[in-house]
Structure 1
């Protein structure tokens, strides 16, 4: 099969590209390299077709995406704090760029699996959260992801479209802005671990290989059009996360608490029953095991 990945030089997209290549598929990667990096694709650079293109350039996209069996749409702007100061840019890329992909899929009649986010739920009081939960994002990033989902519902009569509501994805080559990357960096450099607020915020951390498996299954399975939670199903507080790093690293780093950033939710945990039933999928790697393996001598 031949697949197209937008945002294929980014964290999730590059891992997805490697997995598809390992399965023997042909892969076209589209990325403008504004946040993605070619170094993420070093292992497979001679086995893919790479196109440095912006998803807002509809004409270029249409010229590239012609003979494809499916589109994995992962190009997006993803920083919650940044989304407050660049709201129009986030709307353009995450919504208008997504519509460019949907328009091409409509012409080609091919399935689209796209990256949505648990941010569409907002600060949920009910956890674990089902896909049917009220959607009420509390930051501009989450709003753009909800707008993209609403766009998807307008196109599903023309092709199958699956929106994957990713939770907190971690693993090799993850962006440095995430809390796991920050804690790892601080411990490596004997710096204190900074926690926003009181550390009681709950997050659902899901390993990149598990995310990739769910993403590929969403394309390969006869899913119809739907939205699917992709998380571990386990809630971990930020303070618990910090203590796991300290436990397995043996670090003497201190924990310090600072003011909570705006726009961050307090509770986030996926109900993954739908993914298990529809995709025959379940996470294989736990957060604690991954951290433990980081520090094995």
Structure 2
């Protein structure tokens, strides 16, 4: 870390970015945030910039290493071109500005969605087979950055996290936890499918360690282990929040999928989004279990176990919530 004077965090106003920047503050590392929205926690560090607008990037970036967190990733984006403009063209613009400014290292957050519905325990050598625009465009962004890396004496670290959760995040994991807490949750399918997860306190530590890596190129899945089955995860949450054992009532997969398709049709007609959809049902019952080479990254040790991350999140969100805490709405 000592060789970098200032870290440029693109997309630093979001959930991962804010927590990552907090870690930089805690370790007394200088940084700047480039984002289309103001950082609530670090407004004095934030500059307005848009990865889709190369001129704004040229004016804003003043660091000597870039962490690129910017992405369009929600399932419900109606204009599919937005995935390309931000994820692919945006990554290409970042690479161009890095070349112009002689910045020779980028840490890029991609996603395990590049593997699609992958076989359990897929590692970094797994087949690239994305099933949605998010996964497709994030891999295309990786390719743009690999081209940049190979075009000069540059260093590139690509991190492919699985689903990230933690305090203040209002994404898919929170939605699941909230459904369980409300007592309205119904398990879909047998619940033996395993879900890889990544706690925010660990992913930010991993990103910081990537900045220190001497490797000129590396790709890492990021997963906190051991993976839990859906039955184990739901049972843990029900026990912690409701004092109840097991996963509770469940629906057959075919019936849950039918409800998802009906919700899709209603959304198309009315424009109203629902908490259930066919793609969300498919994702819920799928094995999303990945292996990670994170232990090959010298100097990294996860600060939290997965169990600690889950308990921290449940305590912060449901058992002792802070009404003044910053909230981030993501998928």
Cα distance change, pair 228–292 in 1 and its aligned pair in 2 (3 A) = closer
Aligned counterpart in structure 1 of residue 53 of structure 2, from 50, 57, 61: 57
Larger Rg: 2
Q: 1:202, 1:238 within 8 Å by CA — same for their partners in 2?
A: yes
**What SS does the corresponding residue of 2:297 show, helix, strand or coil?**
helix
> Displacement, 1:270?
2.7
Q: 1:205, 1:234 within 8 Å by CA — same for their partners in 2?
A: no
The alignment's TM-score, normalised by the length of structure 1, stands at 0.86
The answer to whether residue 9 in structure 2 is matched with residue 5 in structure 1 is: yes
Deviates more, 1:200-209 or 1:89-98: 200-209
Q: Hey, what does 1:100 align to over in structure 2?
A: 93
> Displacement, 1:134?
1.1
Cα distance change, pair 255–16 in 1 and its aligned pair in 2 (3 A) = farther
Q: Hey, what does 1:14 align to over in structure 2?
A: 18
In the TM superposition, what whole-angstrom CA distance separates every residue of 1:251-270 from its partner, at most 9, and x where no partner exists? 56955543263275522223
> Displacement, 1:100?
0.7
**What SS does the corresponding residue of 1:280 show, helix, strand or coil?**
coil
Deviates more, 1:11-20 or 1:224-233: 224-233
**What SS does the corresponding residue of 2:279 show, helix, strand or coil?**
coil
In the TM superposition, what whole-angstrom CA distance separates every residue of 1:236-290 from its partner, at most 9, and x where no partner exists? 2333322211011125695554326327552222322x22123332434233333
The alignment's TM-score, normalised by the length of structure 2, stands at 0.77
Q: 2:36, 2:49 within 8 Å by CA — same for their partners in 1?
A: yes
In the aligned structure 2, how far is the partner of 1:68 from the partner of 1:225? 20
CA RMSD of aligned residues (A): 2.3
Cα distance change, pair 27–255 in 1 and its aligned pair in 2 (3 A) = farther
In the aligned structure 1, how far is the partner of 2:201 from the partner of 2:23? 9
**TM alignment of 1:1-297, pairs within 5 A:** 1-33=5-37, 38-39=39-40, 41=41, 44-46=42-44, 49-65=45-61, 67-79=62-74, 81-83=75-77, 85-107=78-100, 108-125=102-119, 127-157=120-150, 158=152, 159-174=154-169, 176-178=170-172, 180-188=173-181, 190-195=182-187, 197-250=189-242, 255-257=249-251, 258-259=256-257, 261-262=278-279, 264-265=282-283, 266-272=286-292, 274-293=293-312, 294-295=314-315
In the aligned structure 2, how far is the partner of 1:199 from the partner of 1:58? 46
Q: 1:128, 1:233 within 8 Å by CA — same for their partners in 2?
A: no
> Displacement, 1:196?
5.2
| Number of matched pairs | 281
